[in-house]
Structure 1
Amino acid sequence: MIKRYGTPPQTGRRYKMRPGVYAVLPRDGMVLCTLQEAETAEIQLPGGGIDPGEHPIAALHREVFEETGWSIAAPRRIGAFRRFTFMPEYDLWAEKLCTIYVARPVRRLGPPIEPDHSALWLQPEAARDFLYNEGDKAFLEQAVL
């Protein structure tokens, strides 16, 4: 059974399954996060949806680069969780299946290419306090605290 974080699904609402990959990225006592400044500012673990036919590890590398500008190495799966949410950028109610990895940030290749995203280095305790969703917080704690 995969643990659910956040609000339970609404009765009678249809949700589309949305698998995604996300990374806890520790380096030199800090954690690399992404700040997404769309409608509201959110600090998140870097990551996102897996494209059809894409391997999860390839998606993880792509998403981390798009949202932070960093390359990563040695991703290791540490678990998964579900959350039910509205995704305004897709006008979609989604059941997000979030698979979490811990990986090593290797090198900054450039700025994030994803609109409204920026890379943010935080102390692990601050990252835990500021992360947008409870699932991200739980896996950050498991990986580095």
Structure 2
Amino acid sequence: MIRRVGVPPRKDISYRLRPGAYAILPLQNRFLLTAQLAPKLDIQLPGGGIDPGESPLQALHREVLEEIGWRIARPRRLGAFRRFVFMPEYELWAEKLCHVYAAYPVSQIAEPVEPDHETLVLNRNDALSMLGNDGDRLFLRHFNG
């Protein structure tokens, strides 16, 4: 069973399954994160949706590059969580199935290309207090790499 975090699903809403891949990226005793600036500020683990025909690892590499401009190496799966949310950018109620990986940041090769995203580098305590969802916090809190 995959752990649910956040609010329980509402019975009056039909949710669309949205699988995604996200990364904990340690960098010299700090962590690379992304700040989604619109429609409201949301600090997140870098990552995002898995496109049709794409593997979770392909999506992870693509999304990290799009959101923070970094190449990563040696991803390893830590687990998964699910949460039920409204995604205003898609006008969609989603059951987000979030696969979480740890990976090593190799190099920044570009600026973020994802609209309204900015790269952050935070220590663990600041990251834990600023991350926008319980699942990201859960995995970062238990990360020992």
Structure 2 length-normalised TM: 0.98
List runs of 5+ in structure 2 lacking aligned partners.
Answer: none
| 8 Å Cα contact 2:39-2:88 kept in structure 1 | no
Shift in Å, 1:27: 1.4
| 8 Å Cα contact 2:22-2:45 kept in structure 1 | yes
Aligned to 1:105: 105
Structure 2: distance between partners of 1:50 and 1:92: 16
Aligned to 1:24: 24
Alignment map for 1:74-93 (pairs within 5 Å)? 74-93=74-93
| 8 Å Cα contact 1:26-1:144 kept in structure 2 | no
Structure 2: distance between partners of 1:123 and 1:144: 14
- Percent identity among equivalent residues? 57
Aligned to 1:69: 69
Shift in Å, 1:12: 2.2
Q: Which runs of 4+ in 1 moved over 4 A?
A: none
**Matched pairs, number:** 145
Q: Deviations over 1:99-143 (max 9, x none)?
A: 000000100001000000011000011101100000000001111
List runs of 5+ in structure 1 lacking aligned partners.
Answer: none
CA RMSD of aligned residues (A): 0.9
**2:65 alignment partner AA:** F
Structure 2: distance between partners of 1:12 and 1:134: 23
SS in 2 for 1:90: coil
Structure 2: distance between partners of 1:115 and 1:76: 27
**2:69 alignment partner AA:** G
Shift in Å, 1:88: 0.7
Shift in Å, 1:39: 1.6
**1:80 alignment partner AA:** A
Structure 1 length-normalised TM: 0.98
Aligned to 1:47: 47
Q: Deviations over 1:26-47 (max 9, x none)?
A: 0110100001100211110000
Q: Deviations over 1:61-114 (max 9, x none)?
A: 000000000100000000000000000111100000000000001000010000
Structure 2: distance between partners of 1:70 and 1:117: 13
Aligned to 1:125: 125
**2:42 alignment partner AA:** E
Structure 2: distance between partners of 1:89 and 1:13: 18
